Structure 1
Amino acid sequence: MSSTGRDIFIVANSTDELGGVTGWMHRTAQLFQQQGHRVHTVGVHAAELKMALPDPPGYPVTALYPAHPPTPWTPRGVRDRFRVPARRREAARAAAKREAVERLSGIFRSARPGGVVIVSQVWAMEWVGEADTRGLRVIGMSHESYAYSRASHRYRWIRNHYAALDRWLVLTEEDADTWAGDGMDNVGFMPNALARLPAVPSPRTGKSVASIGRLTDQKGIDMLLDTWALVAPERPGWTLDVYGAGEDEAALRARCTALGLDGSVRWRGRTDDVPGALAGSSVFVQSSRGEGFPLALMEAMASGLPCAAFDCAPGVREIVRDGEDGLLAPAGDVGALADRLLRLTGDPRMRDAMGDRARAGVQRFSEAEIVRRWEELFAFLER
């Protein structure tokens, strides 16, 4: 390894897509730079729904494609094989992919000895797997739970693409043990780091419950609206503040109207100032169908908010200690989540006690601790 640090390449589906994995990518790149490493972030494609990047980022940010690449075409039956336009489109797609892979190989070839490639999302591994990674250590990651991967096509991708890597990382020890039991003997775990600790926590005086996340099926905002329909009649004067954007926004707004919740739900849009958004709230809620190690949950706790959440993944129950610094409900149980919100919104003393414990406890995932663990892993892989 160079005396000025390693060359580290972080590869994801996109470098600018709105979402927690993108935020993780850029904050991790900054932390590695602060350690003296030379970092290059690479996305398979530029995103349509963008997030604000560090300005300036201080490291190269590359997209292999200007937009999401087309999916491969597979002919179905003899007649399909003679569809000339489709065959031409498939040939063009394959040629574009070869160019993207060669561009990625060229980026990797710039590495000094001791270089590391971190692939933060499963789909991006398809390009990394075809690229020239000779002389590099390759680490794959999954930012979702074993159960969520197992129920999707990504399970097969992980088995096909991650088994031969130098290391692949999940977010919790529980999931690492589960994957090891499923035959993946190169698995370890690495929690996400707490990005920031606001100097001043929320005063927890506003009658607001906050939610932060993309407006997509995974985040379960439809279930949150059903939950709020049970809470709102019992808590007049309280509002649900929904921060986020996504392809399901129109359908979710229509559902909100149909449930008669327009008077108590505020659609706040995306935010790049999470502490500012949370400062006016007293409770945080997470209604996801699946998660990895949710940054939004950690940020809410860092702001001193007690959290009510679906226990949908090991990462959630590792962050929130049920009954101590937040309240968990069985995954998908709308009535149970409503009960947790009613308890937190109805008891100021409980809110304050849990909020204070949340702010103190979440600091066990500090950036300094997580960076130390990354450095230990790099040193281990170099032996």
Structure 2
Amino acid sequence: MKFAYFCFPHLGGTYSVFRHLHAGLGPAGIDVRWLGCGSGAHAALASPAFRAEGVRGTVAGRRDDDDKAGARAMIDAIEGGGYDGVFVNVCADRVQTNVVRYLSPDITRVMIVHNITPGTYAAARAIRDHVHATVGVSERIRADLTAHRGFHRDRTMMIPNGIEATGVACAVRRPRDAGLRLLYLGRVEDQAKGVFWLPRILREAPDAVTLTVAGDGPDLARLKQRCVDLGGRIRFTGAVAPDAVGALLAEHDALIMPSRFEGFPVTLVEAMTAGCVPVASLIRGVTDMAIRDGENGRLFPVGDTAAAAACLAELLRDPAALDRMSAQASLTARDQFGVALMAERYRDLLERLARTRPAVAAPLDLARWRFPPGLRPGLRTYLPTFVKNSVRTLRERHA
């Protein structure tokens, strides 16, 4: 079998999933190749950073194609390239998401839903009837889609993204000192990641707690401004190369993740694999899939900075508990979220679809290309960010 994975090379979770599927499904005779379109895909293929990725996929169409021409190029590449099916990552690119509504009925279509936002769910609903199976990367996503978005339970499953343990667990952990070395790792952005809560958490935690912020993003400059008074208790490293993540995790005792929403936090499980104890927002059906509070990490209500600081204080006071959670976190990550297990679940799904493929809606006429509701901006797009943030925080606290 040959499957196209809708995406192009970049530093991010959806492309990491592609790499794992490409490597994990190959031995089972399933060739997974990335397929992208548009100016971003052309720029990635031309970048020295991703030159080697060209052997794993291709870009369809021209750099300056409009949406309809890009869709036509994608369809031609799929139907003329011997592909048996496609993986579509909802909201990663709205042209590619919409393409599945125009594909030949002979092409198997698997939708992957990566986040719990209303916008992501609306986009998933827009193409629901044109895919043969839907994968939610967390239990929360699967439950939300089947309970509230009309997704059929037999065609909607949960497959967490896998973690390659070798890449993050090879470094030797640095001996612990008298303090608690805390790490934030990932995109520095407040709307989803809650990074503006970090300085408040640090101020409310004991002085022996220090924080490293590793990553880049649109809110980095503003976060630095909010942390001026913290002096040497906080440092910023900027973006971190993937091959340096293991060593960075080994230098820290705990990972802080104050997110408002997540689909499946790969960074959290990477930290657990390396024995870096997670301290994370309680996002029902997401972070509690991996963290058992008090056993292999700590959970606190979304936005409750005092509770987060109290978790850190407890870890600082009780090094034995910290060591115990570190060991349990590593075991949980390796046993439940390995790449091999993820690939096995996808292999089983694709083999089942090859045997019995459910009916889907008839393909639409590309001559009448359009974006449906869900793939067009909705009313929520125009709400002020602080309103959306407040609603998300309240929703998660009372879920």
**TM-score, length-normalised on structure 1?**
0.80
Equivalent residues in 2 for 1:53-92 (5 A)?
53=50, 55-56=52-53, 58-62=55-59, 66=63
2:235 pairs with 266, 279, 301, which one?
Answer: 266
What are the residue-to-residue correspondences of 1:1-383 with 2, within 5 Å?
Answer: 6-12=1-7, 15-45=8-38, 46=40, 53=50, 55-56=52-53, 58-62=55-59, 66=63, 96-112=66-82, 115-124=84-93, 125-129=96-100, 131-145=102-116, 149-150=117-118, 153-182=119-148, 183-185=150-152, 186-197=155-166, 198-200=169-171, 202-203=173-174, 205=176, 207-217=180-190, 218-231=192-205, 234-236=206-208, 238-257=209-228, 260-271=229-240, 272=242, 273-363=244-334, 364-383=336-355
Q: Distance in 2 between matches of 1:96 and 1:224?
A: 41
CA distances 1:200-239 after superposition (whole Å, capped 9, x unpaired): 55245154211111011211111122211212xx233x42
Q: Which runs of 5+ in 2 are unaligned?
A: 356-399
Partner SS for 2:162: coil
Instruction: Provide, for residues 77-127 of structure 1, a one-character-per-residue CA deviation record: whole Å limited to 9, x for no partner.
Output: xxxxxxxxxxxxxxxxxx7112211110122113447x1211123353444
Q: Which moved more, 1:128-137 or 1:219-228?
A: 128-137
Aligned partner letter, 2:151: M
Unaligned 5+ residue runs, structure 1?
A: 1-5, 68-94
Q: How many residues align?
A: 338
Superposed displacement of residue 176, structure 1: 1.6
CA distance in 2, matches of 1:210, 1:63: 40
> For residues 191 and 225 of structure 1, what CA distance do their matches in structure 2 show?
31
Evaluate the alpha carbon distance shift between residue 154 and residue 369 of structure 1 in structure 2; reply closer, same or farther with a 3 A threshold. closer
Structure having the higher helix fraction is: 2
CA distance in structure 1 between the aligned counterparts of 2:105 and 2:99, rounded to whole angstroms: 11
* 2:170 aligned counterpart, secondary structure: coil
- Which position in structure 1 is the counterpart of 2:382? none
Q: Is the 8 A contact 2:61 2:73 kept in 1?
A: yes
Indicate conservation of the 8 Å contact 2:90/2:97, yes or no: no
How far residue 248 of structure 1 moved from its aligned partner, in angstroms, is 1.2
SS of match in other structure, 2:216: coil
* 1:120 aligned partner, one-letter code: N
Paired amino acid for 1:227: I
CA deviation after TM superposition for structure 1 residue 41, in Å: 0.8
Residue of structure 2 in register with 1:73 after alignment: none
CA distance in 2, matches of 1:51, 1:264: 36
Classify 1:57/1:255 alpha carbon distance in 2 versus 1 (closer, same or farther; 3 Å): same
In 1, Cα distance between equivalents of 2:195 and 2:246: 21
- Quote the residue 1:84 is aligned against: none
TM-score (norm 2): 0.77
Aligned to 2:361: none
Q: 1:279 to 1:127 in 2, by over 3 A?
A: same
Provide the rounded CA distance (Å) in 1 between the counterparts of 2:259 and 2:63. Answer: 30
SS in 2 for 1:193: coil
- Where relative contact order (Cα < 8 A, 6+ residues apart) is larger, the structure is 2
Q: Percent sequence identity over matched residues? A: 23
Q: 1:51 to 1:22 in 2, by over 3 A?
A: farther
Q: Using the alignment, how far apart are the partners of 2:175 and 2:89 within structure 1? A: 35
8 Å Cα contact 1:26-1:54 kept in structure 2:
no
SS in structure 2 opposite 1:292?
A: coil
The one-letter code sitting in structure 1 at the alignment partner of 2:344 is: R
1:184 corresponds to which letter in structure 2? F
Assess, with a 3 A threshold, how the Cα gap between structure 1 residues 54 and 368 changes in structure 2: closer, same or farther: farther
Cα 1:61/1:210, change in 2 over 3 Å = farther
CA contact (8 A) 2:37 2:61 kept: yes
1:130: how far off? 5.0
Q: Distance in 2 between matches of 1:9 and 1:104?
A: 10
Structure 1 39/171 Cα, relative in aligned 2: closer, same or farther at 3 Å? closer
Task: Give the distance between the partners of 2:285 and 2:305, measured in 1 at CA.
Answer: 19
For residues 315 and 61 of structure 1, the distance between their equivalents in structure 2, rounded to whole angstroms, comes to: 33
